[in-house]
């Protein structure tokens, strides 16, 4: 019966034909990892010595596939040194290999730089959006405060107007009997106090402003707020007559006001 031909016997036969040293044969056949053994067997056929084989087998790579890949690369280097007799060619090949390695490293660094730049750009965009949102919030808050202040001043002026009306009514009530007595006693030529009240009312700047502008329905709320601001800035009711025209918007009133002030 024919003896079964195993891989080990095949290795032995081929190594014998290649005239490998006995210690190389024994060393390769004693390796338990089949994949590593195959690659070292090929390296032995290529002409590697025992020390080189030991160095490859004892490399600090535990996983079988990774060690086989490592041995394959080292074999390629060995063959390049063995068959390329021209030192210049060998040097160029080594430089090319080194350049490929450097390009790979540069590519990795470039990819890392691009990723970092994208992250920074996204972070900057988020920060800018957050700042813009905060700025808009403060701006809106400031405008709301201004509107509240204006509304408060309008309420105060309206309150003053109501108080003035009450005072006027009280004065009318007090002076009405006196006027009646004067008419009955024949003093018809005397000017009644009731007739003098509008004059007094007109002489008070605040009352003039309230009656002429705040009580005037021809002006919009925006125009009234603008005129209140002009009053706060020192304009008199007489000066306002030149630009406080109901047909003009608040912006147009302001432009006309500035032109008038320049001409003074």
Tell me the per-residue pLDDT of 11-25, one tens digit each, with 9 for 90 and over: 666 776 667 788 888
3 state SS of 33: coil
Give the pLDDT of residue 199: 44
pTM: 0.31
The answer to whether residues 136 and 207 touch, using CB atoms and an 8 Å cutoff, is no
Give the pLDDT of residue 99: 75
The DSSP letter of residue 190 is S
Residue 228 has pLDDT above 90, yes or no: yes
Give the pLDDT of residue 153: 80
Summarize pLDDT for 37-68 with one digit per residue, the tens. 889 888 988 888 889 889 998 888 888 898 88
Average confidence (pLDDT) over 94-100: 71
Place of tokens 């001409």: 263
Per domain, the residue ranges of the chain are 7-83, 94-163, 195-264
CA within 13 Å, CB half, 67: 20
CA within 13 Å, CB half, 33: 14
Q: Compute CA distances 66 → 39, 50, 56, 150, 151, whole Å.
A: 12, 21, 12, 80, 81
Residue 168's closest CA among 191, 131, 196, 140? 196
């Amino acid at each position: 019966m024919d003896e079964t031909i195993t891989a080990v016997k095949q290795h032995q036969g081929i190594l014998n034909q290649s005239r490998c040293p006995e210690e190389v044969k024994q060393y390769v056949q004693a390796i338990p990892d089949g994949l590593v053994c195959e690659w070292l067997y090929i390296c032995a056929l290529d002409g590697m010595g025992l020390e080189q084989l030991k160095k490859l087998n004892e490399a600090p790579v535990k996983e079988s596939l990774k060690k086989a890949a490592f041995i394959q690369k080292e074999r390629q280097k060995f063959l390049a040194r063995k068959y390329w007799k021209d030192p210049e060619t060998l040097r160029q090949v080594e430089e090319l290999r080194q350049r490929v390695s450097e390009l790979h490293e540069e590519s990795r660094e470039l990819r890392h730089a691009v990723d970092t730049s994208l992250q920074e750009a996204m972070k900057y965009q988020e920060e800018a959006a957050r700042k813009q949102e905060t700025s808009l919030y403060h701006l809106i808050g400031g405008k709301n405060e201004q509107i509240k202040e204006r509304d408060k001043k309008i309420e105060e002026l309206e309150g003053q107007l109501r108080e003035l009306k009450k005072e006027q009514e009280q004065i009318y009530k007090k002076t009405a009997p006196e006027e009646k007595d004067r008419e009955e006693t024949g003093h018809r030529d005397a000017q009644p106090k009731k007739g003098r009240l509008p004059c007094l009312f007109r002489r008070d700047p605040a009352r003039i402003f309230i009656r002429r502008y705040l009580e005037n329905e021809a002006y919009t709320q925006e125009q009234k707020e603008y005129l209140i601001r002009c009053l706060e800035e020192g304009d008199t009711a007489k000066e306002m007559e030149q630009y406080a025209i109901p047909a003009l918007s608040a912006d147009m009133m302001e432009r006309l006001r500035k032109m008038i002030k320049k001409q003074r």
